[in-house]
Amino acid sequence: MKPALVFVRSFVPDFDGKLKKYMSVLSQAGISYHFVGWARADILPEQSARFSYFKRRAPLGNGLKNIFNLFLWNIYLFQWLFNKRKNVGCIHVVDFDSVIPCFVFSRLFRRPLIFDIYDKYSSMRKMPRALATLIDKLENYCIKRADLSILADSSRYEQHELSPGAKNVIVLENVPIAAIEKTLFHTPEAKRWDIGYFGVLEPVHRGLEDLLELALQCPEIGLHIAGYGPLDAFIATKAGPSSNIHFYGARSSQEGLAIMGQMDIMTGLYYRSVPNHLYAAPNKYYEHLMLGVPLVTTVGTPPGEKVTRLNTGWAVSEGVQALQRWLDGLQEADVNIKAKMAAHVWETTYSKYYDTNYSGVYLNAVAKLMNGRRHA
């Protein structure tokens, strides 16, 4: 068997749009790949000879309560890499919770390592300051010494205290592959705005509870939620008796985007209770441009600054009262203008991003690493 690039992430690949883009690039280039992940929740992951899973159950969003399970995942990962070492040509690992065994394996067996940092680990979780400091140092050590490190946005250089001139670091924004055509901007009947959210159902920090409360207080809007996460049961309970709250459950990227394409407005709230949100580079920002659907997000965050500057959405304060004030001032003409501006920004700025940066920059880097392996 020809050595393959091995993708590693502590979850399943089904809902990871960025990972799907990497796989698409490699498939088009004829480069073999394999995925090693952790099937930790009640979701049946994608099955094929190209996918391997650690199947120990561990609730999402449990933080340090999952530390023993995380330790077992790291052991499984190193054992898998060791057992398959002859078939491992390069490792592309996502986030700190999986990088240590990959880094050690890379050094022991001289395999090139790509470290893809979706989010700074300590900024997404509550933990003692001493532990956070240690993790930050280890994470930055791996970033600086990986053969290639990938950041989600240029603002992450500052977050990780990196020099923008670092030769082994590139920025790959999570831009969708291709636009989904939106044929018209429909006029809501009786001000029935359809508002959508597609993504991780995280409590507290994404404002989902506030969106649900807004929908309960304002039956004239339709709230459509698709995704997976700790709030699954809570959202299903709220949606059950409500005619204007629709919960679709876990959906693939393609299915979720198809639902969002029918919305008047998309939501992507990033409350500043999570430090990482001050550097948020969410796929929802790029998806709202691709779909031509305006985005309501949080003031004081990168997507909030962008939608305000480019007039593709609204940046609001945190809490249900701020959402209510935004909804009260919503005007059809403004919604349509922002929708058209979103589509314009996509076409002029991001429509060729996949070809240039994924099929170009990323693929070239992978080919070079696969052909050269890593130096001693």
pLDDT one-digit tens code per residue, 46-95: 677 899 999 888 766 666 667 899 999 999 999 999 999 999 999 999 99
Query: How far is the C-alpha of 360 from the C-alpha of 347, rounded, in Å?
Result: 19
User: What is residue 66's predicted lDDT score, i.e. its pLDDT?
Assistant: 77
Contacts of 111 (CB under 8 A, 6+ apart): 85, 88, 89, 90, 91, 105, 373, 374
Specify the pLDDT at position 61: 61
Q: Which parts of the chain sit beneath pLDDT 70?
A: 1-2, 42-46, 59-65, 179-191, 373-376
pLDDT of 293 reads 96
Report the pLDDT value the prediction gives residue 40, as an integer from 0 to 100. 81
Domains of the chain with CATH codes: 4-176+352-372 (3.40.50.2000), 189-350 (3.40.50.2000)
Pick the closest to residue 89 from 292, 374, 337 (CA basis). Answer: 374
d(CA 56, CA 70): 10
Angstrom distance (rounded) from CA 93 to CA 75: 15
Per residue in 296-344, pLDDT (tens digit) is 999 999 999 999 999 999 999 999 999 999 999 999 999 999 999 999 9
**Cα–Cα distance measured from residue 63 to residue 284, given in angstroms and rounded to the nearest whole number:** 24
**Mode of pairing for the β-strands spanning 295-298 and 313-316:** parallel
Among 299, 276, 306, smallest CA distance to 159 is for: 276
The predicted structure's pLDDT at residue 314: 98
Residue 229: which region, alpha, beta or left (left: phi > 0; alpha: psi -120 to 50)? left
State the pTM of this model.
Answer: 0.84
Say how far apart CA 6 and CA 88 lie, in whole Å: 6
Which residues, 6 or more positions from 308, have their beta carbon under 8 angstroms from its beta carbon? 314, 315
